Amino acid sequence: MREYLLTLCITAAVTYLLTGPVRKFAIVAGAMPEIRARDVHREPTPRLGGIAMFFGLCAGLLVADHLTNLNEVFEKSNEPRALLSGAALIWLIGVLDDKFEIDALIKLGAQMIAAGVMVVQGLTILWLPIPFVGTVALTQWQGTLLTVALVVITINAVNFVDGLDGLAAGMVCIAAAAFFMYAYRIWYSYGIEAAAPATLFSAILMGMCLGFLPHNMHPARIFMGDSGSMLIGLILAAGAISITGQVDPDAMKLYVGSERDAVHQMVPVYIPLLMPLTIIAIPAADLILAIVRRTWRGQSPFAADRGHLHHRLLEVGHSHSRAVLIMYFWSALIGFGALAYSVNSASMWIVLGVAALSAVGLVLLLLPRFTPRAPRWAQSFLPPRYRRRKALTAPASPVAAPQETEERTPVGAGAGVNGATAVGGRTRFPRR
């Protein structure tokens, strides 16, 4: 665990430190597009944040390659190199898009090519462990098509949800954290080495998001752009593909009794085709709704609009920060709820807990004007924007209402020399 934490921290540090210089470079390079009708921000903001995130990925892989335990991942598997190859390609296309606005079909083709590059190097789905059925072996073509489909879906799901400051990075970080715990459990609890690459990918992905978030929280100083959103989407998909199609349930049945029990232990993460959607259910739902909505209107599925879930939260009346926190809440509920269910699917308390938290989430959705108040003892630990504002009371002044006193004082009443009037114990002379 210490080596994973070290890799995470170094990845986060490199990403954080490089984001500032990348922001200056983006401004000089002119990667600051004009504000569009669907945008939420009010001022032009530089993109190309994916440059810092990509170098954070490279730093994380480089450090892991030199650590004693994590070095085995590079020696026994070609998946880290496959990930880096696909990530470099998709990142390059994203950088060009952030600067020159590449056509959507070209980006789609690049996503498929990046997925194909990873498949050629061994990062592919070999079989599907279907609950209550067993392991279903896939042919080469079936595995390739399924792998490419999962990569494209996950990349676009993350790209579609990147509409508010800190939203995509935070949601992917939450999904990566839940996925890391699940993969780490399979790797160390069951001793299955095939889960090691997915565990490493998740740790690095968390570091990339955590390092970028301080620069991207509202009000954002820089956007990750397509170079960042497509990159983290591809890494999340790579981890899902690695652990879904590479870990053999036959190895787990030695610990849980039978193959069917082994597959059942991996529910719901091992649901074929839906595995990435379980981890990022909210972005995936947003993607599906966007495609249906645009197709129903006769538009292209790639035509941008203001109908995403985060846009609807703003229209209901939620503030920018609250809309982001609500999306965080639902992502964490689904991701960690799936994690808890995969650990102990027979516990009724897990189901009741998820149901109770879902009810809380619905209340938050229906109360956009509600402002939570933190206790007074916690005020010093909160950012200034979330602290209670003290009521401003005007101090009592001896000359609080001199004008009113002058107007109501009759002529000659209390008048002094040259028409001066005594007000509040002081002599006030009229203006000449």
Point out the annotated binding site for Mg(2+).
159, 226
- CA gap 400, 405 in Å, rounded: 10
In the three-class reduction of DSSP (H, G, I as helix; E, B as strand; rest coil), residue 235 is classed as: helix
- CA gap 295, 308 in Å, rounded: 14
> Can you read off the two tokens belonging to residue 144?
């390739």
> Can you read off the two tokens belonging to residue 123?
């990062």
- CA gap 174, 338 in Å, rounded: 13
DSSP one-letter string for 357-408? HHHHHHHHHH-TT------GGGGGGS-GGGSPPPP--PPP-TTSSHHHHHHH
Residue written as token pair 């787990």:
252
Which alpha helices (H) appear in 121-224, and where do they start and end? 140-161, 167-184, 196-216
In the three-class reduction of DSSP (H, G, I as helix; E, B as strand; rest coil), residue 224 is classed as: coil
- CA gap 37, 291 in Å, rounded: 19
CA angle 224, 232, 306 (to 5 degrees): 55
> Can you read off the two tokens belonging to residue 379?
């005020």
Annotated binding site: 159, 226
How far from 94 is each of 89, 233, 319, CA to CA, in Å? Answer: 9, 12, 29
